Structure formats: C-alpha cells, structure tokens
Structure 1
C-alpha cells in the first residue's frame, strides 16, 4: 500500500476518533503529496524514496518551528508542532540509533579513505544514501564532523 493510501486510511480513523491533531497532520502530508505529484516535470507518481524524503521534510519543518517557539518562550505554539511530529513520523521507516549511524559512518570513512573536513561532502553523500529515511541529516552530519576532525 502506497503512502497516499496509508494517509487516507489514517485520516478516516482520525475523523472517526475526532482526533484534530492527527487529522491536521495527515492533511499536511496529503497536501504535500498532492503538490509534489502535480509539480512541473512530475509524472504523477512518486518513488518510495521521494515519499520518505517528503515526510522527512515535513518532520524537519515542524521540529524547526517547535524549536523557534520554545526559544521564544511560546510553549503553547510548540506543543501542537511536537504532537504533529509524532503523527507524521509514523510514516517513516524505523529510525536508527546514533550508535548504529556512527558505525556506518566509521565504515564509510574507512572504505573511502576520507581524511579531514575536506572529505565531509563525499562521506555525507554516501552515508545519506545508505541511511535514507532511517536517520535524519542533522544526526548524520554531526557524527561525520566528529569522526573527521
């Protein structure tokens, strides 16, 4: 079952349960999918990888918004964003732990012979492809920086 069908099923459940947060989050996913599938140059179908990237983008947007709201002392605005993250993350593959990501980063650095920060882009590209959807870019970036220093 594709992401669009999963979202529609969850929307029905959220409507029946009168879960406003879930419904709002699911509508955001549906809207983003619709926009992406109707973009210029799109054939109307999205690959599973593209769907995962889209959902990751939605989660990142909400995390960034929540961080800004918390920084400004507006917990009342941050709470709905944090609640939506929980709903949207259901559609992502299981996330890897930092230890698992670190292991893959170390293996990649060894296999590419990367030395220092000048090779960060090369390592990031390889690791990001390997871990697509299983770890967020910020976590990968942080670990790569630490290992290359």
Structure 2
C-alpha cells in the first residue's frame, strides 16, 4: 500500500472519529501531494517523492514551532506538535544515530580514502529517505574527520 493510499484511508477513519487535527493535517498533506503531481505532470507520485513532501511538511511545522515558542504561544505549540506527530506516523522508520555510525564506520573501513561528500552520496544512494541528513552529516564529519 502506498503512502498516499494510507493517507486517504486514515483520512476516512479520522473523519469518522471526528479527530479534527488529524483530518486537517492529512488534508493538507494530500493537497501538497496533489500540487506536486500537477507541477510534475504525474498521475501518482512515487513513495520517495511522497516521503520527501512529508519531511518538508514536518520541517515547516518545526520552523513554525520556533516562532511560536519565541512568541510564547503555547496553544500553537501544542497544535503543531500534534500535527508533527500525525505526519511522522506516515513516514517509514528512520535509521538511528547508532545505525548511521555503524554504516559510516563500515564505509570508512572498506574505503579509507572516502571523503565526506562521497560518503553522503553513498548514504543517499543506498538509504534514501531513511535517515535525517543533518544527523548523518554530523556523524560523517566526526567519523571521516
């Protein structure tokens, strides 16, 4: 089952249970996906593109959280936290920092001349969408020097 199909099924369930935050969040996600489909001229986005959209939506909400925190708007912070939780429930599981460390250490032992750019490219090619790029970058800097 694709992520989009999963979102549509969850939307129906959320509407039946009258979970307004979940309904609004999922509708926003489906709208963002439809916009991308129209922009790219596709009928259905592949799951990689859908995952990218979900991550972008999470990033937007985290930025909004920072602004709400500066403005001391607790009700907005709570709403955004719920929205992030809803979006994260549709993302595939992420590699942990320990798993990334092991992968990067293995890459370094198999290829001692590997630089950071090469390591990040190999990570992206092999584990696309399964890790947080910022965390991977920090670990790569530490391991690869």
TM-score norm. by structure 1 comes to 0.85
Q: Residues of 1 paired with 2:29 and 2:92: CA distance?
A: 16
- SS at structure 1 position matched to 2:66: helix
Deviation of 1:136 after TM superposition, in Å, equals 1.4
Deviation of 1:112 after TM superposition, in Å, equals 3.7
Deviations 1:22-44 (A, max 9, x none): 111101210111011111x4332
Q: Give the paired residue count.
A: 145
- SS at structure 2 position matched to 1:29: helix
Alignment pair present for 1:35 and 2:35: yes
Match of 1:129 among 114, 119, 125: 125
Q: Residues of 2 paired with 1:71 and 1:104: CA distance?
A: 37
Residue 15 to residue 124, structure 1, CA distance change in 2 (3 Å): same
Corresponding residue of 2:21: 21
TM-score norm. by structure 2 comes to 0.87
Q: Which runs of 5+ in 1 are unaligned?
A: none
Q: Which runs of 5+ in 2 are unaligned?
A: none
